[in-house]
Copies of this chain bind each other. A is one copy, B any other.
Amino acid sequence: MDARTFKDAIYGDFARMGKVLSSPKRFELLDLLSQSPKSVETLARESNMSMANTSKHLQALLDARLVDYQKNKNYVIYQLANPKVVNLLFSMKSIAEDQISEINHLREDFIVRGDQLETIELEDWFDLKEGDSHVLIDVRPQSEFLSGHIEGAISIPVEELNDHFKNLPSDKEVIAYCRGPYCVYATEAVEFLKEQGYQAARLEAGVHEWKQYQANQNH
């Protein structure tokens, strides 16, 4: 085998990763799976695709070995095949954030409500949590909370906030987080809680940002 043949083969293999992530829908599926394993039905609903199309994309991810699955009765529960997938998604988002200004505009407008929403960085949360005047809530679906959550958080899925918010101490500020910087659940939660008279702010991080922050602190 000559060098050119070797390079063509090697770059062909490397580019398979790019190819599988060239689809916005497959990217979203991987993001969803990074929060917890999920069934085809759940993934189809969350990503707004047909079951057939969702299954097709999952087959592509399976073929690239970025996901694998376990059967549970009639359900096929898909999960990330390698924790490095999270790093890969991070890396792609990070550079997309730097190079595509539209991303920041979209986030500013839709997630941070044009800077009208009070937000807290993860670094600041670590200071605040030493005191006793804040409570941290995880507003993702409970299955995602059970898969992994920021230490000290209480699970109150945003869809259940109306039923459970009264359990929150009214003399503390509520810090809400969800799937990460591009998830709107925490924004909705903070808006709702403010309407109910609470002090509330959105944490600009999800469970993966928190884990990465912890890992960096422990060096």
Contacts and interface: CB of A to CB of B under 8 A. Distances in A.
Contacts of A13: 96, 100, 102-103, 106
Interface of A: 1, 3-4, 6-28, 31, 48, 64-66, 81-82, 84-85, 87-88, 90-96, 98-100, 102-103, 106-107, 109-111, 182, 184, 219
B110 A98 contact: no
Contact of A19 (B7, B12, B22, B48): B22
Contact of A92 (B14, B81, B90): B14
A88 B7 CA distance: 19
A103 B17 CA distance: 13
17 contacts: A10-B107, A11-B27, A11-B28, A13-B100, A14-B27, A14-B93, A14-B96, A15-B27, A17-B18, A17-B21, A65-B100, A66-B95, A87-B94, A87-B95, A88-B94, A88-B95, A219-B219
A67 to B, nearest CB: 10
A109 to B, nearest CB: 7
A137 to B, nearest CB: 19
Nearest to A8: B24
A96 B91 CA distance: 14
Contacts of A64: 99
Nearest to A81: B99
A182 B10 contact: yes
Given A84-B95, A91-B91, 10 more contacts: A7-B28, A10-B103, A10-B107, A10-B182, A14-B24, A18-B19, A81-B99, A84-B98, A88-B91, A219-B219
A7 to B, nearest CB: 7
Contacts of A95: 17, 66, 82, 84-85, 87-88
A92 B88 contact: yes
Closest 5 CB pairs of A and B: A18-B21, A65-B99, A11-B24, A19-B22, A91-B91
A147 B164 CA distance: 59
Contact of A9 (B11, B16, B96, B106): B106
